């Protein structure tokens, strides 16, 4: 278009485009180099890591760290446990989110304003870490899988996104179904849900990724080793390594100890990242859509 | 008599006709509302222990009210003052350095005509947002480590420094690392709303500017930026409104005992006092203080942002 206006602009624009491309590549490099570094560390030998010889390429290539992880039964247990946890959490979350978003979409519902206020208020104010912790303790959920499922089951933000989507469906649809004798359950199951597949997929991914990445609730509520999700397991590993590093700096341990676990640590980071990377290409566009959807008021 | 009775019945029925008509909707609401009561509102009621000499065995009912004692105690603690100061300071730095980057990045992305490269760039820039802070923290600890870390070893190799930079073990350097990592994690994802706003701009404005002889930079300055001004202001105000709250995992995982006075923030302080040391009442008092100040700030922020954007955020 610029070319049509002024032919001389076109050449300038392409030079500009190249400059832009270079700047963007720098940003992209900043975003990706840390990953490459960690991959390189995970595939390098201990002595090379210790010397600080590893930057973007494995030095003295070794797959020992991965072998150690693959042989570690607790790592696989933690992986499958986290998958199970995420699946249960996502399923229940979606059911509750739909069950609250649908009635709140119906304008004729008495008390609709009140219920909406009732849930939106929780976005602004909460009991806070300790009262929530004591509540879970009192309910007898501490150190059980349900402590990681129940307390975070509904995200009000996601409810609002779901509600906005339901509201965008033409009201006449439910009216027509009602005249044909459908009740509200049937309208939800046969009219609304089949039209909402993309939103349902988006929200499921929101819930699943947030559960997968959650760490602090596991830190607060879980003590048993076999109930630790992957993030907590990874944290314990990292903290163990860091504790050694701090003692090195304080002069209480030799540096040899600090690099002992570095490649294993890196390999574990990669191990925990791969599941996210596998789904990432599919979830990314839904997430982008979700952000812009959430910004629109309903 | 009979007539009167009948009319009473119909009246009552008329009064509750909505319940008969919509009972299915209320049935759907029941479980989620129950969830909100148990997992959101009940803990709010539990805030009462902030005003109690709370005894875990006696419970809320059996504990004695002591007014503002817990607050007085907490506010006089040295560590609380440090945690509060660090929370505000780190959030402030996050805002100063983290806020402008997505705007610049969004404008750059928007100007790109190499669509394939643009798409790939976006995909890679969004990636850090999808990783947990534990994973990012683990990477940070490795990359910024002394000697073996990639940054220190590279700088040493290039002769730019003689000794390791204590990125994680010196207060000022730790703050630098913390902010840098925050910018790194959030810059790509932060572009989304700006990109959406820029896409929504009227393209004839750009054409008009072009005909008037505006070059690219002038177009950005006079058309793009004013066009997304309300988005910028609303997001800025909302960010300021969240000054009191700070994520737990980022400072917790990057922090260590050597930089305790720099990395301790309210969320980590509450965790240590409450869950690790069982000082439930005092930790709750801190949490309540934080929530109330946060609520006031966010309400003000919402009101201010409404001035710029009719709808507000919610």
**A50-92 per-position pLDDT tens digit:** 788 888 888 888 888 888 888 888 889 999 999 999 999 999 9
What does the pLDDT look like over B114-173, one tens digit per residue?
Answer: 889 999 999 999 999 889 999 999 999 989 988 788 899 899 989 898 888 999 999 999
Q: A37 — contact with chain B (CB < 8 Å)?
A: yes
CA distance A213 to chain B (A): 5
Q: B234 — contact with chain A (CB < 8 Å)?
A: no
Please answer yes or no on whether B44 and A126 come within 8 Å at the CB atom: yes
Is residue A268 a contact partner of residue A232, using CB atoms and an 8 Å limit?
A: no
The DSSP secondary-structure symbol of B64 reads E
Q: Is residue B311's pLDDT more than 70?
A: no
- Structure tokens, B106: 């969004």
Place of tokens 């947030």: A210
pTM over 0.90: no
Q: B204 — contact with chain A (CB < 8 Å)?
A: no
Give the pLDDT band of residue B312 (cuts 50, 70, 90). very low
Identify which has the larger pLDDT, A73 or A247: A73
What does the pLDDT look like over B13-24, one tens digit per residue?
Answer: 667 888 888 999
What does the pLDDT look like over B196-214, one tens digit per residue?
Answer: 999 888 889 989 998 998 8
What rounded mean pLDDT belongs to chain B? 89
Residues 198 to 257 of A: which have CB under 8 A from any B CB?
209, 212-216, 220, 231-232, 234-235, 238, 241-242, 245-246, 249-250, 255
Distance (Å, whole) CA A148 – CA A150: 6
Q: B211 — contact with chain A (CB < 8 Å)?
A: yes
Q: A142 — contact with chain B (CB < 8 Å)?
A: no
Mean pLDDT on A244-273: 69
Give the pLDDT band of residue A99 (cuts 50, 70, 90). very high
Q: B75, B56, B54: which is closest to B66 by C-alpha?
A: B54
Q: Is residue B216's pLDDT more than 60?
A: yes
Distance (Å, whole) CA A97 – CA A161: 10
Mean pLDDT on B277-299: 92
Q: Is residue B309's pLDDT more than 70?
A: no
Distance (Å, whole) CA A56 – CA A34: 9
- DSSP characters over A31-97: HHHHHHHHHHHHTS-HHHHHHT--SSS-SS---HHHHHHHH-HHHHHHHHHHHHHHHHHHHHHHHHH
> ipTM beyond 0.90?
no
Spacing of C-alpha A266 from chain mean position: 20
Mean pLDDT on A208-228: 94
Q: Which residues contact B268 (CB under 8 A, 6 or more apart)?
A: B83, B248, B251, B252, B255
Q: Tell which of B30, B40, B259, B295 to mutate to test the A interface (max A CBs under 10 Å).
A: B40
B81's enclosing H/E stretch is: helix B78-98
């Amino acid at each position: 278009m610029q070319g049509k206006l002024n032919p001389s602009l076109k050449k300038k624009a392409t030079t500009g485009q190249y400059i832009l491309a270079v700047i963007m590549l720098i940003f992209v490099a900043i975003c990706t180099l840390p990953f490459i570094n960690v991959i390189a560390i995970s595939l390098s030998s201990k002595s090379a890591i210790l010397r600080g010889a590893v930057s973007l390429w494995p030095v003295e290539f070794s797959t020992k760290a991965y072998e150690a992880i693959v042989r570690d039964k607790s790592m696989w247990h933690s992986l499958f446990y986290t998958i199970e946890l995420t699946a249960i959490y996502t399923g229940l979350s979606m059911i509750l989110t739909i069950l609250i978003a649908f009635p709140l979409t119906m304008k004729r519902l008495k008390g609709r304003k009140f219920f909406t206020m009732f849930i939106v208020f929780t976005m602004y104010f909460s009991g806070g870490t300790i009262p929530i912790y004591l509540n879970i303790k009192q309910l007898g959920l501490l150190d059980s899988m349900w402590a990681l499922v129940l307390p975070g089951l509904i995200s009000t933000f996601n409810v609002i996104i779901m509600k906005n989507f339901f509201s965008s469906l033409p009201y006449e649809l439910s009216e027509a179904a009602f005249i044909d004798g459908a009740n509200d359950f049937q309208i939800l199951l046969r009219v609304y849900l089949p039209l909402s597949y993309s939103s349902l997929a988006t929200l499921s991914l929101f819930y699943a990724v947030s559960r997968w990445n959650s760490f602090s609730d596991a830190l607060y509520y879980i003590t048993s080793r076999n109930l630790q999700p992957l993030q907590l397991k990874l944290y314990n590993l990292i903290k163990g390594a860091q504790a050694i590093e701090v003692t090195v700096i304080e002069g209480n341990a030799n540096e040899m100890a600090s690099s002992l676990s570095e490649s294993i640590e890196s390999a574990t980071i990669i191990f925990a990242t791969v599941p996210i990377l596998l789904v990432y290409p599919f979830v990314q566009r839904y997430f982008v859509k979700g952000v812009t959807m959430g910004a629109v008021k309903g | 008599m009979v007539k009167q009775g009948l009319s009473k019945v119909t009246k009552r029925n008329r009064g509750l006709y909505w319940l008969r008509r919509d009972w299915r909707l209320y049935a759907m609401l029941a479980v989620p509302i129950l969830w909100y009561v148990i997992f959101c509102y009940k803990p709010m009621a539990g805030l009462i222990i902030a005003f109690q000499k709370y005894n875990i065995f006696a419970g809320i009912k059996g504990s004695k009210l002591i007014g503002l004692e817990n607050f007085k105690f907490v506010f006089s603690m040295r560590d609380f003052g440090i945690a509060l100061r660090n929370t505000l300071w780190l959030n402030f730095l996050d805002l100063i350095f983290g806020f402008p980057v997505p705007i610049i990045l969004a404008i750059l992305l928007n100007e790109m005509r190499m669509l394939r490269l643009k798409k790939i760039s976006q995909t890679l820039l969004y990636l850090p947002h999808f990783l947990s802070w534990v994973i990012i923290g683990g990477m940070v600890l490795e990359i910024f480590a002394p000697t073996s870390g990639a940054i220190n070893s590279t700088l040493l190799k290039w002769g730019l420094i003689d000794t390791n930079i204590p990125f994680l073990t010196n207060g000022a350097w730790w703050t630098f690392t913390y902010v840098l990592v925050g910018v790194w994690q959030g810059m790509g994802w932060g572009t989304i709303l700006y990109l959406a706003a820029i896409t929504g701009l009227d393209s004839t404005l750009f054409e008009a500017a072009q005909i008037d002889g505006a070059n690219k930079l002038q177009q950005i300055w006079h058309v793009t930026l004013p066009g997304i001004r309300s988005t910028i202001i609303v997001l800025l105000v909302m960010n300021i409104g969240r000054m009191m709250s700070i994520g737990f995992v980022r400072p917790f995982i990057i922090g260590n005992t050597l930089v305790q006075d720099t990395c301790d923030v309210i969320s980590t302080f509450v965790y240590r006092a409450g869950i690790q040391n069982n000082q439930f009442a005092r930790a709750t008092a801190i949490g309540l203080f934080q929530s109330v100040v946060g609520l006031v700030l966010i309400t003000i922020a919402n009101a201010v942002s409404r001035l710029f954007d009719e709808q507000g955020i919610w």
